[in-house]
Amino acid sequence: MEKIISFIKKKKIGVLKQMVSLKKYTTYKVGGNAKVMVYPKNEKKLLLLLKKLKEENVKYKILGYGSNLIFSDDDYDGVIIKLDLFDKVKIKDTIITAQAGASLVKLSYKAFKEGLTGLEFASGIPGSVGGAVFMNAGAYNSDMGYIVSEVKVITPELKIKTLYNKDLNYKYRNSFLKQNPEYICLQAKMVLRHGDKKLIKELMETRRQKRLLTQPLEYPSAGSVFRNPKDDFAGRLIENCNLKGYFIGGAKVSEKHANFIINCGSASASDIKNLIDYVHDTVKNKTGVDLKIEQEFVNWE
């Protein structure tokens, strides 16, 4: 790793941090330390870094806002790449072009201020544009697949390429990028529609109030843990299995919303994973439904 650290410094790849707690970079507030974290300055520096990491066979992970990841309690013996400096946003008529590091929540409010509709569903999703494109983030029967027209990516061969909506194979909480994680999203182009600012604001505010009433936003979590099965709700199934309030260590099934697992303040990553596994197995044993986990486990091998 010293070789990589030396390379990052010598080539001025970007801001370098060492032995940083991943608790500060995930919405669950759990995880071990990242031995190396780097914020590349631009695409050229990012490509240079990726080339070196592949040459040296060093593992790496692109980390957005950490709102859908569960890092283990072990140290991550690789390089965490943060694209926070890739945060430029351009709006031209109904077309928004946003880099991967831009905030999805802030982007939804920018769209509202421009009188654009189609991104209201994202106003409560605390992730980055890159992460949202990757996992096809969505809510309220809408998702990124409805609005993303094209995505600029780095391919596994370290070429910059444009993928179009038809290439992205968007499905419920899934995409070509999620199935092919060696592709890295650099920016996305989204097509919205002109709308009534007053109605957009009212819709966003109504949904904000609903989230406050129905979701445990006062605790660290990563949103919905399981995908809703066809014609049903994961939360309903979990609640019917009497799992609301069930806890392992500092992790608990929310009493406000059964499809949320919360960190009550002292949870380890293992507590959260063990609770997710327990809920999954209990629901499957009692109902026969095999709930699909929305969140990604990193560094558990």
The pTM of this model reads 0.93
Tally: H helices and E strands in the chain: 9, 18
Q: Which whole-number Å values give the CA distances from 11 to 49, 80, 86, 212, 245, in the listed order?
A: 9, 17, 19, 46, 51
Residue 172 has pLDDT above 90, yes or no: no
pLDDT at 94: 98
User: pLDDT band at 141, cuts 50/70/90?
Assistant: confident
Q: How far apart are CA 197 and CA 84, in angstroms?
A: 29
Q: What percent of the chain has pLDDT over 90?
A: 95
Secondary element (H or E) of residue 252: strand 251-253
Q: How far apart are CA 216 and CA 220, in angstroms?
A: 8
294 is catalytic: yes
Active-site choice (128, 150, 268, 294): 294
pLDDT at 173: 87
Q: How far apart are CA 280 and CA 301, in angstroms?
A: 20
CA atoms within 13 A on the CB side of 41: 9
Q: How far apart are CA 217 and CA 196, in angstroms?
A: 29
**Mind listing the domains of the chain with CATH numbers?**
2-82 (3.30.43.10), 89-199 (3.30.465.10), 217-298 (3.90.78.10)
Contacts of 194 (CB under 8 A, 6+ apart): 94, 115, 116, 117
Residues 284, 268: contact at Cβ < 8 Å? no
Q: How far apart are CA 284 and CA 241, in angstroms?
A: 10
Residue 13 has pLDDT above 90, yes or no: yes
For residue range 254-277, what is the model confidence (pLDDT) as tens digits? 999 999 999 999 999 999 999 999
Residue 159 has pLDDT above 90, yes or no: yes
Active-site choice (123, 173, 254, 268): 173
For residue range 175-213, what is the model confidence (pLDDT) as tens digits? 999 999 999 999 999 999 999 999 999 999 999 999 999
224 is catalytic: yes
Q: What percent of the chain has pLDDT over 70?
A: 100
Active-site choice (72, 103, 224, 268): 224
